[in-house]
Chains A and B, each alone.
Chain A
Amino acid sequence: MEDVRLHWVAVGLGAAALALLAAGLAARSGEVLGWGLAAIGAEYAVHFSAAGRALDEVTPVYAAAFVLVAELAFWSIEPRVAAWSEPGLIERRLVYLTATSAAAAGVAAAVLVVASASGGGGVALEAIGIAAAIGAFVLLAALVRRSLPEVDSRS
């Protein structure tokens, strides 16, 4: 019964993700696209709540597709600027997308390998995991803060 309810929750999240992505593309809004991508991730999380404990070996493919969807979505809402005098722009972009998706699959696979190698886990391992997550979050926040808008009055 719980599986059926979670199934419908996942379907609902999937529909919401589609709607939010469509709205984000139509409105050219990065924030709305972000909510759509978060809904896709949430759908995946609900899917695993209903599944068993075995590692999903398709996760690297899913990660690659997830990153590809995100990149394509943000590419779609970039301002349209004429680039007819720049040959090779599209080709370079496609190479970049391919490389990014492949890298995402690689990173996801590496995480799964580490996770499977750790076996049952344990409190110590979980603590390490929490510390790694917090550390990553802090690092990211610091990097984002460094990238906040600033004005260079010299130039």
Chain B
Amino acid sequence: MSEDNELTPEIEAALRELPAADPFLREQHIATALGEISPAASTGRPRFLAIAAAVVVLLGGGLALARNSDDTPPAIAADTTVATVPKATNDCPHTGGFWGDVGSVEGFTFGGAAYELILRNGNVEVLLGTQPCTRVDAIVYFEEMRRRVNQNELPSKTACEQKALLQFSDTADGVEFRLALLETTDGVSLFFEDRCNEPLGSIALPPSSD
């Protein structure tokens, strides 16, 4: 087709030529996307994902717990409800590469281990706050904010009864939503503060080794 030859081969090649993806970022992208596999869709090995996720989390958590026990005492007792928001550890690099557009970082503890919650463009990333800065999981909430705005389900000023580990706000289409990270029996869940019975996502964290 003659129209297909209107770009010179040089321009066509330059169009297609994109710097290769950062291998780390590529793996993060794929791992996060794999986290979207619906358990309901899995018919062959229904428990596979849960087991795999638990192994990953436990491996990461074990590293953090080991470091905590070597270096510093846990910030809180394992079975104590977090009463204050601890400072971020700043142990992990948050600049460059995958972390280049991090909006904010806050710290929290669960099961005696320090974690960092990283906010980046509608994603919440939970990262182990001790070296080697293992990324545990992510919760994506931007699309839900946008859906609520589009369907005129605007946020109210109510708040969750349970004390939050962390609170923050984010906007979609100029509408501000308040979000809360709440502790659960096996990890953390993210909620809109006006919808504390509908988690946006949950992340399992290893329990205390005590």
Answer whether A and B are interacting partners. Answer: no
Chain A residues near B (Cβ < 8 Å) = none
Q: Which residues of B contact A (CB under 8 A)?
A: none
